[in-house]
Structure formats: C-alpha cells, structure tokens
Amino acid sequence: MENINSNRRFIITGLFILVLLIYMIRLFLLQVVDTSYKLSAENNVFRHIIQYPTRGLIFDRNGKLLVFNQSVFDVVIVPNEIKAFDTLLFCQLVDIKKEELIQKMREAKRYSSYKPSIIIQLLDFKKFSLLQENLYKFQGFYTQARTIRSYSSPIAANLLGYVGEVDTSIVNNNPYYASGDYIGISGIEKSYEEFLRGKKGLKIQMVDVHNRLKGSYKDGKFDTIAIVGSNLITSIDADLQSYGEKLLANKKGGLVAIEPNSGEILALVASPSYDPGLLVGKQRTKNYRKLSLDADKPLFNRAIGAMYPPGSTFKTINALIGLQEGVITTKTVLPCNGGFRVGSFYQKCHHGGSVNFIYSIQGSCNAYYSQVLMRILRDNKFDSISHAYENWRNHLLSFGIGRKLNTDLSNEVKGILFTKEFYDKRFQGREWRPLQFVSMAIGQGELGVTPLQMANVCAIIANRGYYYIPHIVKAINQNDSIDKRFYQKHKVNINKEYFEPVIDGMELVVQSGTARSAYFQGIDICGKTGTAENPHGEDHSIFMAFAPKENPKIALLVFVENAGFGSTYAAPIASLLIEKYLTDSISRPYVEERIINTKLNIE
C-alpha cells in the first residue's frame, strides 16, 4: 500500500514539474524568442518618429536663392496597432478615396505589421491641421513633417536636377534610406546628395491608449537631432542663366559659359527645358510622365549629354596641333581653289586662291585644314599613319575631347573619338589612308562633342594652354572648400606661343570674318563659327567665343540645332550673352528681339 502511495506521489509531483516546465518554456518563447508581443507592447507605449532634416539650400554665385524648402506632412501607420475607425471621416480629412486608402494599408501590412509605413505623402498644412485635430480617433495613425523643394525662379531645371522617392534597389543597397525617403535624381541634387540631404534624427515619444502624445521618453535622453543639409553656393550667375534660357527659348540646343581662370560654370542651358516646380509635390508623377513623353525631350540635358559634330570650331584645335607638330607655321600658305581635291574625292570650300594661316581661321577655309590634317597624319616623325593618328588623338584628349571632363554634373558623356584599335579592327589589315579621316579636319565625320567640352576648349584657348575642370559648385556652407580636383591646373600638349596667332585669327573672325554678326563696339571678342552638317535636316549653328581678348572673363559655346550657319543664330546669341555679362546691358535690342522671337523646330 505504501509503495502504491509513493508511486502516486511521484506521478503527481512529476505532472506538476512537467506543467511548470511547459509554462516556463512557453514564457521563454514568448518573451525571448518571439519578440512580436514585446514589439506590440512597446509600440503601444512608444512612437519612434523620424526627424527628417531640412535639405540644404542652393544659391547662385551672387547669393541669390535658387532652391529652398517648403513644409509638407506624411501620414504614417503601424498596422498592428490600428483599431476600427471611421474610414469615411478619414478619407474626407485627407482627400483620398476609400479604395486607395485600403490598398495602401494592405501594402503597409505586407511590408511589416509592427514597423511604421508612410501611406499618404505631401499633405499641405491645411489638410494636416484638420487631421491633427482628429488624430486621436485613428489609433495606429500618426503624422510626420518633411520638406519638399521649391524654386525662386523657373530656371536651370536640368542643371539643378530634381528630387524623387527612392526605389527598392536604393533602399536595399544604402542603409541610410528607407521606403518613402527622397533622394537627388539628377543634376546638382544628385551630384551633391550626401551634402544636401543632411542626417536624419529620431524622436521617441510616449502615447496613451488613445494614441495621444504624452511627452518624450525619459525627457528625450535617447533622441537624436536631425542635422540640416549643407547649403551650396553655385558658380551660376542667375541673371545670365535666365537670359541664356530666354535667348534659346523655342529652339533646340545648348550653351555653356565658363569663367576661364577658375573653371566655374557661369551658365549652362539646355533647350527646351521645363519649370523645375513641375517635379515636386503631388503632381510630380503626372508631370514627369508628360515631360518624359514629350518629343522635344525637355528632361534631356543637351549641354552635357548631347553629342554633336563640332564643325569649323574644331579648326582651331587642328591649327594648334599643326603648329605644335611643326607641319605648318604661322607663315604657311596653302592653296584652296574652291575646295580640296584628291582623285575623285572633293571637299567644297567657299574660298579661292591661296590662303594664309590667319585668314584660314578668319575666313574658315575647309581646304586649308584638310591639308593640315593630311600633313599631321603623314608626319615622317612616325613610322605609320596609325601612330600619327594616335599622336593626334592624344592631343585631342588633352583638350578634353573624347573623354569625360570629370565635372560635378551627373550624366556627363565623353563624346566620340575612336581609338587606333577601333580603326585597326575596322580596316581588318588594310592600309590606313589619311583621306579616310579628312572630314575630321573640319569637325565632321566620326567626331562627337558636347557643348560643355567645346566651351572648355574655348577656355583653354582663352587661357593660352590650360584649364580648370568645369564645375557648378564653388563653395559648400559658405566657407567650405569643394573637391581639390577643381583647383588643379591642367595643361594641354601645346606650347603657349602657338595660341597667340590662333587668337589673333579668332579676333578677326568677329571683326571682319565669318562672325561679323557678333561684333559690337567696346569689347574685343575672339570667336570661331561652325556650321555642322546634319544628315537629318538643316545644318547646326555653332559659335564659340571668349572676351575680352586680354584677361578674359567669359568663354562660351552656343549650339543651336537645325539653325543653319554659325553666324545666323549661334554667334549673335553668344555676343548678347557676353555683352550682358560684362556690361549688364544690351546695346543691340533689334538683335535681341530677332533672336527671342525666332522659333526653330519645336513641336
């Protein structure tokens, strides 16, 4: 009997121990392994509110405000905390359809039941105020402030760029960003994103069961403040930028103006463009779709992304290379006779008789430079034409042709300048012949340059042989330096003494040559016209210039698509910009009126 009672005690004791063990294991799983209850409990007490920093402001070189911020508000939910609520009232307060609200809430729950998700973005202050007054009725909902970009003037859209919501790939690859955050997509906003964005902060607040704020957790001991983004002082002259856009309005093309002694970009215009204010706020998606489908491509930055044949502006480079390589001198006279002929090949020119070096630039003689390039490629210093071509190409690379300039603008392209290996493969063992490259003597053929690259070439000539990398930002937070690469002087492979005769020829281009339309009294402008052949329509109008001749303050390139001769539109546009920048006035209102009122190939 005692054995039976003893066994019963063991069984009962064992059952109690087993039940206790099961409870202990269950409590361990609930409290340690499974954190959902802990998260739910904490979320019923705490609100982790992201403090979005104010994005840095953007100014022009003279302190004019270009880009600032406007306050807006987001609605955020924690799905696991939401209780039954009046959906009709909520939708009325924030002006949203019920179906859209339900869809957004489902998407938020799929992302996480316990983490906050943005379901409504960019509420204006009026809607925010109405919602805030009634927020206690919507448990699991709360608001957070952020800013969006706003613009002092509808200029420089392609230069400034725009801000947009991050996509999944950015969130996955950069831990700073979360779904719903914004990031610079193009232009300065993209290039200087890490400076402009600042640093997020975090505020932990306590709430009651009705979702009402009760104050900071432990008096803000664990809060972090948001660090405001850095302000950028750009090199842009807002007045010159605006004037350039006015002159290029209703035309396709681009222009770039540079301060030669610093590399600072004074104006960068791509036309057609758009009002940067279209790509902020709730209408951004709709407007972006419309702009991206526009046949005139207003989102395309032609100033740094379009590749054009440089036309006769390229003759200045071939002149300098010819002098440097010793295949010509400033006293070289070459025959024209209305063109350049070799066998059945004929390249037309509008001159005749004999042409000297200065007049070859002043009058833009095709035949002269066809012969110059033939001499460069047949130079007996090299054992083959291919090696002479490689040497010529290296000169061009030193001018920034055929490569990226490493500026601070996003989406810069390198253009077209093929390598020796490219042609070796094309010719497949056949002999190289200089005539195969003769079109490049006058800036045609297999060449593609951007307006930025040719503006930089003009700055090199103005500086008599060197340049600073063109850049758009000159200071960060007023006193902070920019990247050191923008302070380094880059010299080209041409001796300084060879620039003066080329510059003398460029001065005569404006005074009595192909760009007489750019002349006005008081400022010595040195320029070179270009008319680039276009197989798809009317020729392109090109003009590069700098001024004054001594101690130049501005160098620029103007490219107008399908506008004919360089002297017709590009040259007067450039001279108006030079006069505006150097004198802050216009002495030829009739020229200005003609340019502004001209509409070319805009649908």
For the four alpha carbons of 466, 468, 470 and 474, in that order, the dihedral sign comes to: negative
In the block, residue with structure tokens 């200029």: 155
pLDDT tens figures, 42-93: 555 676 777 888 999 999 999 999 999 988 888 998 888 888 999 999 999 9
Nearest to 407 by CA among 552, 269, 304, 254: 304
Nearest to 211 by CA among 39, 47, 42, 41: 47
pTM of this structure = 0.86
Nearest to 147 by CA among 214, 231, 65, 57: 57
Give the span between the Cα atoms of 258 and 242, in whole angstroms: 15
270 with 161: CB under 8 angstroms?
A: no
Nearest to 495 by CA among 325, 260, 333, 377: 325
Question: Could you tell me which residues are beta bridge partners of residue 18?
Answer: none
Which has more pLDDT, 156 or 338? 156
**Strand, coil or helix: 215:** strand
Which tokens in the block code for residue 562?
């399908």
499 with 356: CB under 8 angstroms?
A: no
pLDDT tens figures, 534-555: 777 788 999 999 999 999 999 9
pLDDT of residue 37 exceeding 50, the answer is no
Give the span between the Cα atoms of 560 and 566, in whole angstroms: 9
For the four alpha carbons of 270, 273, 276 and 280, in that order, the dihedral sign comes to: negative
Cis peptide before 79 (omega within 30 of 0): no
Residues in the chain: 603
- pLDDT computed for residue 577 by the predictor: 98
Domains of the chain: residue spans and CATH = 48-234 (3.90.1310.10), 238-289+301-596 (3.40.710.10)
Q: How many CB atoms lie within 10 A of CB 546?
A: 28
443 with 314: CB under 8 angstroms?
A: yes
pLDDT tens figures, 87-125: 999 999 988 999 999 999 998 888 888 778 888 888 888
Reading phi first (left if > 0) and then psi (alpha if -120 to 50, else beta), residue 460 is in alpha
